[in-house]
Amino acid sequence: PFVSINCAAIPDTLLESELFGYEAGSFTGASKEGKKGKFEIADGGTIFLDEIGDLPPMMQSKLLRVLQENQIEKIGSSQSRRVDVRIIAATNHDLLDKIADKAFRGDLYYRLNVLNLNIPSLKERQEDVPLLIDHFRLSYYHESGTYRVFHPEALQMMHGYHWPGNIRELKNIVYRSMVIAQEETITSDLLPDAIRESQYRRYTESYDPTDLAVKGSLN
């Protein structure tokens, strides 16, 4: 199994029960049958802990124990259960900075940091922009049956944009453009103002009246 959980999207008070589960009647509102946690569900497979940099300090300690002993303990239980789980963790924080600020446990960081994969932001790998545009365009086509293509000028603008919202922003703009386009070709005027204004700023910053005058005189 592959199980994913966003550590930043779940309130601190619920995160422990989501990760480790609980026994029947262990707290007010608990299910009469109890509940399996994400680690128990992922036993024999992989659990993906997204936004682990936002994990509360108490849960950092509990997660460290799971990593050290390969055991979990449900809320309301006095017995531990052994689990065999591969952990993948992701964050957009600099965890070494958080360790220095006493906001993240160093022992947990070094326990997790076996294989480190750094994924640069989209503005650092703009050669991927056309590939991702095509991927999201085809993904939307398979979901909705709506077929659209981007005009070369629109693609050029998107390729040169700095993408402060990273891939999520790109995906949303591709989907938005496919929804509002009335024709099969998505033209640059359908792109958000931020992208078109960014293109205009690059043009004006590179504009050299002297160079234009020289070219004009040669013509």
Residue 172 to residue 97: CA distance in whole angstroms: 31
pLDDT digits (tens, 9 = 90+) for 130-143: 999 999 999 999 99
Q: What is the CA radius of gyration of the chain?
A: 25
Q: What is the mean pLDDT of residues 176-200?
A: 90
214 pLDDT band, cuts 50/70/90, is very low
Least confident range from 3-12, 16-25, 106-115, 124-133: namely 16-25
Do 59 and 16 form a contact (C-beta atoms < 8 A)?
Answer: yes
Three-point CA angle 158, 196, 144, nearest 5°: 55
Q: What is the mean pLDDT of residues 80-101?
A: 93
pLDDT digits (tens, 9 = 90+) for 144-156: 999 999 999 999 9
87 pLDDT band, cuts 50/70/90, is very high
